[in-house]
Chains A and B, each alone.
Chain A
Amino acid sequence: MGKTLFDKVWDAHVVDSIENGPQILYIDKHLIHEVTSPQAFNELEERNIPIFRPNQIVATADHNTPTQNQHLPVRDELSRNQLKQLAENCDKNNITLYGLGHKYNGIVHVMAPELGITQPGMTMVCGDSHTSTHGAFGTIAFGIGTSQVAQVFASQCLLLTKPKSLRVSVNGTLKPGVLPKDVILYIISKIGTNAGTGYFCEYAGDVFENMSMEGRMTVCNMSIEMGARGGMIAPDETTFAYVKGKEFAPQGEAFEKAVAYWKTLPTDADATFDKEYTFDAEDIEPMVTYGTNPGMGIKINAKIPDLSDASFEKSLEYMDFKKGELMLNKPINYVFIGSCTNSRIEDFRVAANYIKGKQKAPNVTAWLVPGSKQVESQIEEEGLKTVFEAAGFELRQPGCSACLAMNDDKIPEGEYCVSTSNRNFEGRQGQGARTILASPLVAAATAVEGKIVDVTKALSLEEELI
């Protein structure tokens, strides 16, 4: 029987199998950041265990960093201390750190792919659930807890039980205005937030084959929001072209050799999956969420469903929405374009394209937060910064920012925020804040109009005007 992409990469990394138990899986790359690593460093130090393979670890500071005045000392004492510990730990253990202000600094899931640290066929882990992002390259990448960070520090391996396989296929052509973010929000709204628990997902079909690497990263990023440990997309010419020439990617002959191997990775035609879902691209419209988990999404012009279970009602109460209500025309005061889901250059291009020649609505506070220093420079080089500034938008410095509101970028209590991030949990963007997940296009349109609008209509109107 044929093998899946996941099987091939997994099997190539199994060091040993424990009878009736987990397998020892070798990890090629370990990404770390300031929030989930300090306790792991402490643990090793207490037990007097050295870091096994420091040159397979890359560190960045992202979760807890300010997005303004990054050249100044960090004001919050606890945050400053956490960043200092990361720097000290990396220094002591010979681990490469791209700290605050470094030209390679950025959100871990944005900086690693753009530097070519992420490559097809690898196993990668990070103490962060959205590590699934790197699966866009045909990589087995998943989030781990801090105990596991310590395990990888100690042995470059993890004890794991092989997950089951799931394939989500979307075929056909996406309508204009429908972005990768809408595709994944649509999928999660259809299958629910725990459909993927216990599974590793492969995304297949025309839509993903025709998608850019950045779009694929947006999709794989949110695999965890349907419960899956990770998501993957088969590497193809698009992948190879993206990786080629990147700072830490193999170069020259080594690259050609790698490509030859990467080409063997896609799922065999006769391989089978434990579970499969198939969707039509034509059914997907721009999406927004109305509730407090990412599965509570609807088409932007649809009504909030009328369900009657306790969790659903609790969720609507938190959001202060009513059953059967339309999301269209809801006034919105906050817009956030950023996070490891949507803070790459294509996301800012989409936003700038819409915003160009328009003005931000006066009621809206909009934060545009690039995912990395490199994206920040690209925004400037491509003239997007000028577009944003002319329209009254504030462009901040890279980091996780309002995605999890660990720094000062918090949405005030009771306010709605249309956000390109990945989680609309209660209080995720600040105590009492209400998050509506959407694509960068919907977010940009919301910022301009000051309310939720049907972007497909807005787009077709513009086309008529041309």
Chain B
Amino acid sequence: MEKFTTLHSTAIPLEIENIDTDQIIPARFLKATDKQGFGDNAFRDWRFDKQGNINEAFALNNPKYHGSILVAGDNFGCGSSREHAAWALAGYGFKVIVSSFFADIFKGNALNNGLLPLQVSEGFLKDLFEVIKTNPETVLTVNLEAQTLTVDGSNLQTDFDIDPYKKTCMINGYDDIDYLLSKKEQIEAFELSR
């Protein structure tokens, strides 16, 4: 897993609530047996119509917006447990997803892939959408060590929560398998004790 400490980037606003993982990566693209290429099909049916024409109205296709932060509406990542959603977003180039609420499984999947799900208050999210829409070149700074999200050149700033264990993993690029393997003896002892 790649290490994550700080990120400065512009952001893409996706002002839609309840974005489910079927939208992030439709089921018909789940036939691959590796993790490559999902980025090409991220939000496939919102980015393109059935004939494959670009949907100009969709935020990801708007040339005004770019960057590796996605700012999305409430309850992001609900629905299917498919980790392909996290691979698709990371593959598309996102490093941070900001929302006022994340579905549980998606949150875990994102963290396991070095993609930071950053939860802010509903009020802050609203302000964030406003500043990005007013000036798409606005740069945001995410500081994982300090657990802060700052809108550069303004006094907009917020703290965010992250599980301390997960934070350490992201900063150091460790994953859970490394940790669990180091506990093998204890796991075997547990099995014997039952």
Minimum distance in angstroms from B100 CB to a CB of chain A: 11
Q: How many residues of B contact A (CB 8 A)?
A: 51
User: Please, which residues of chain A bring their CB within 8 A of the CB of B183?
Assistant: 15-16, 24, 155, 157
User: Roughly how many angstroms separate A156 CA and B175 CA in the complex, as a whole number?
Assistant: 16
- CB of B32 within 8 A of CB of A78, answer yes
| CA–CA, A16 and B189, complex, Å | 11
Judge whether A69 is part of the interface by a CB distance below 8 angstroms. Answer: no
Question: Which partner residue on chain B sits nearest A79 by CB separation?
Answer: B31
Residue-wise, chain B 45-86 has the 8 Å CB interface mask toward A (1 for contact) of 100001000000000000000000000010100111111101
Quick check: A20 and B165 within 8 Å, CB to CB? Answer: yes
Q: Which of B28, B30, B163 contacts A21 (CB 8 A)?
A: B163
Chain A residues near B153 (CB, 8 Å)? Answer: none
A284 within 8 A of B: no
Residues of A close to B86: CB separation below 8 A? 145
A35 surroundings in chain B (CB, below 8 A):
30-31, 82
Say yes or no for A372: interface residue by CB 8 A criterion. Answer: no
> A311 contacts B16, CB within 8 Å?
yes
Residue ID in chain A nearest B165 by CB atoms: A21
Contacts of B35 in A (CB 8 A): 39
Contact with A along B14-43 (1 / 0, CB 8 A): 011110101100111011111100000000
Which residue of B is nearest A291, CB measured? Answer: B18
- B residues near A426, Cβ cutoff 8 Å: 22-23, 45
Nearest CB in chain B: distance from A422 CB, A: 10
Write the chain A residue with the least CB distance to B18: A293
A93 interface residue (CB < 8 Å to B): no
Contact of A431 among B16, B20, B50 (CB under 8 A): B50
Say how far B109's CB is from chain A's closest CB, in angstroms.
Answer: 4
Counting CB contacts under 8 A, is A316 at the interface? no
Interchain CB contact under 8 A, A22 and B163: yes
- Bitwise interface map of B from 180 to 194 toward A, beta carbon under 8 Å scored 1, else 0: 110110110011000
Determine if B125 is an interface residue (Cβ-Cβ < 8 Å): no
Smallest CB–CB gap between A288 and chain B, Å? 19
User: B180 — which chain A residues lie within 8 A by C-beta?
Assistant: 24, 151, 154-155, 157, 159
Binary per-residue interface labels of chain A (421-439) against chain B in the complex, 1 for a CB within 8 Å, 0 otherwise: 0010111100110000000
Q: Which of A15, A198, A293 contacts B187 (CB 8 A)?
A: A15
Within 8 A of B (CB), among A392-436: 404-406, 413, 423, 425-428, 431-432
Contacts of A128-181 to chain B: CB distance below 8 A: 128-129, 143-148, 150-151, 154-159, 161, 163
Residue B101 interfacial (CB < 8 Å): yes
Asked if A161 and B163 make an inter-chain contact with CB atoms under 8 angstroms apart, the answer reads: yes
In A161-213, the 8 Å CB interface with B consists of 161, 163, 193-194, 197-198
Within 8 A of B (CB), among A75-100: 76, 78-79, 81-82, 85
A-side interface residues toward B, CB under 8 Å? 15-16, 18, 20-22, 24, 26, 35-36, 38-39, 42-43, 47, 49, 63-64, 76, 78-79, 81-82, 85, 127-129, 143-148, 150-151, 154-159, 161, 163, 193-194, 197-198, 227, 229, 293, 310-311, 314, 404-406, 413, 423, 425-428, 431-432
21 A-B interface contacts by CB (under 8 A): A15-B183, A24-B187, A26-B191, A49-B177, A128-B81, A145-B109, A148-B108, A154-B181, A156-B187, A156-B191, A157-B187, A194-B103, A197-B75, A197-B101, A197-B104, A227-B78, A229-B104, A311-B17, A311-B18, A404-B22, A405-B27
CB-based closest 10 A-B pairs: A21-B165, A147-B112, A78-B31, A145-B109, A38-B33, A145-B83, A155-B180, A143-B81, A129-B81, A146-B83
Q: A24-B186, A144-B105, A145-B112 given; name 16 further pairs at CB < 8 Å.
A: A16-B183, A20-B164, A35-B30, A47-B177, A129-B79, A129-B105, A146-B84, A147-B109, A155-B187, A194-B75, A197-B104, A198-B104, A311-B17, A404-B27, A405-B27, A406-B27
